[in-house]
Every structure is written in C-alpha cells, then in structure tokens.
Amino acid sequence: MTVSLSHHLTDKIYIAGHRGMVGSAVWRALEGKGYTNLIGRTSKELDLRNQQAVTDFINTEKPDIVIDAAARVGGILANNEHPYPFLMENLQIQNNLIDASHKAEVQKFIFLGSSCIYPKFAPQPLKEDYLLTDSLEPTNQWYAIAKIAGVKVCEAIRKQYGKDFVSLMPTNLYGPNDNFDLKSSHVLPAMIRKFHEAKLATDNGQQSTVTLWGSGTPMREFLHVDDLAQAVMFAVEHVLPEYLYNVGTGTDVTIKTLAETIQNIVGHKGAIAWDSSKPDGTPRKLMDSSKLRSLGWEPNFDLEMGIKDTYNWFLAHQDDYKTVKF
C-alpha cells in the first residue's frame, strides 16, 4: 500500500506536551529533519484543561498541524489511587485540543494514546480491530477510557468531515525524559532507578535486594520513544489511509526477563524478590503494528540498546531524583 506525501518543512506544528518524554522526542525528531516552525507551551503558559485558553491559543497561532502528546500519565499505582483526574483531565486536554483544532480548520491532527485501550484478554497480538470488543484492564481503565474517547472523536471528525485526523497507539514507551519517580512511573524506568540505587547500596556495603511488583510472568512489549517520534514524523509527512494505527516493535519479554536485562546493564549484583501480593496487570500485551509497518515505518532500537540509552540519560540526570531507601 502506498501513502501520499503531505508536508512542508515550514509547516507550523504545535506539539502539545513538548516537554514530556513523547513530546520532547517528537520535537527532536522534527527539528533534526529540518522543520523550522515548531511551537510549544508549558503547562504554566497554557493550561490545556482550560477550554477557552486552548481555543484562544489555537485561533491565535493558527498551526497547520497539531500533535497531541499531552496527557496525565502514570503506572498501575497512580491510576489506582487517582482514577478521577486520570479520566477527567485526559478528557479535558484532548477534547479541548481536538475541538479547537477542528473548528480552526487545522490541516492535520495526530492523537497519541496507549495500548491500554485494548481489552484485557484480547487475542494476541493486539490488532486495531479489537478496540471495544471486551472489558478493559481494571487498574488503568480510567486512562484507557479517556484515550478511547479521543480515538473515536478523531475517527468521527475524519468520517464526517474528511479531515486528516489520525490516532497512533504506542506500546509501553521508555527513553530520555522518562518519569523515574517510584510512585508514578511505569515499570521500565522504575526498575532502572531501583537497580541503580541498589547498586549504590551494594557499593556502600548495604543490603541491596530489589523487590518488584507481581510474579514477573506477564509479558510486555517496549518501544523506545525515539522510534515513536519517527512514527509521528511519518504521520506528519504522509496522509495515512486509516484512522488508527498501532506502534510497536512486534516482540515482547516477560517482566522477569526485563528485570534481569536491566539488572545486567546497570551492574547490580544483589537478589531480586517478587512481591506476588501486588497486581500483575494484563497478562500479555503484544501489539500487531503491521498496518503502519506496511506503509514504511520501522523501529530502530532493540530493547538492550534502548535500555542502555535510557540508563545513560538517567545517569546524567539522577540528581533530579531522591535516593530510594532499602
């Protein structure tokens, strides 16, 4: 299948959430390709939950393309403890951006979501067609429902008005600018931090067993954020024929294998303890990304290379994080 080209390096592109892990990676990718008219606003400069503020901003700036990389995100713990803001704030952010962009005749809108939109026990690998075919994973349903709404709103605009509004659903992301806060981070960055600080404890002659949630048996797929950024750029530069595309590597590993890989890269020599009283989440989440790959996008990072890159970034920024107590 071929896709038509649709871009100019002078296009005005607004990246919502440009300082986050995804937004900053998209900014780097576009800037590196030679795009010269990128715009972003911090949350202090523009509260995306404020409908009037977002409408005024879009009407004033008149971007050609809007990329929605803004969201309230977190892992199982954060979703479980804060269900209301994970649902409501994500709905507010995306609805304001999509509606303002539609009304202002923005040429292209790229909505970014997550693999958690798919049912908990959907067949593997996850295909786009499995959306809304069964119940969600309870621990992150609040975030998932918001993202499903965003996908369907973009689909509705595409169907009713023929506009180039497209949704990209990445698998589990990691990379530079990730969140390493242990109360709100996802599994991979949390492991990097835990193993690193356990390694420091070992160097100081302290006990350094690392305790991890669950059984270690669930399987997960991980995508380096720079690979997602390349997928976003692909969507910027082409008119994609469908409304929804998965973005993943096509391979997954057990959480236990992930832990051992990170432990080896970090250089931690202590034990790993699994706390099976904590939830595992979905047993497996492998995405079928063949639709996007058939159009020409391919990931570049393998998991070990990506973890090394992320760990190096963490080492350069570790002063931003307080030390874990073992």
Active-site positions? Answer: 143
What does residue 249 show for φ and ψ, rounded to 5 degrees?
Answer: -90, -25
Rounded-to-integer distance, Cα 25 and Cα 44, Å: 20
Feature table: binding site for NADP(+): 17-23, 112-115, 147, 170-173, 186
Nearest to 124 by CA among 216, 187, 218: 218
Euclidean distance between CA atoms 113 and 70, whole angstroms: 10
- CA gap 279, 269 in Å, rounded: 26
Distance (Å, whole) CA 36 – CA 305: 30
- Beta bridge partners of residue 266, listed in sequence order: none
Helical residues (DSSP H) of 51-104, grouped into ranges: 51-61, 76-81, 83-103
The answer to whether 160 touches 102, Cβ cutoff 8 Å, is: no
| Binding site per annotation, positions | 17-23, 112-115, 147, 170-173, 186, 194, 213, 220, 280
Are residues 68 and 112 in contact, defined by beta-carbon separation less than 8 angstroms? yes
- Alpha carbon distance 225, 69 (integer Å): 12
Three-state SS at 185: coil
* CA atoms in the 13 A half-sphere facing the CB of 238: 18
Cα three-residue angle 114-322-320, rounded to 5 degrees: 65
- Check: CB of residue 98 under 8 Å from CB of residue 158: no
DSSP state letter for 118:
S
Annotated binding site for substrate: 194, 213, 220, 280
Q: Which of 137, 126, 114 is nearest to 287 (CA)?
A: 126
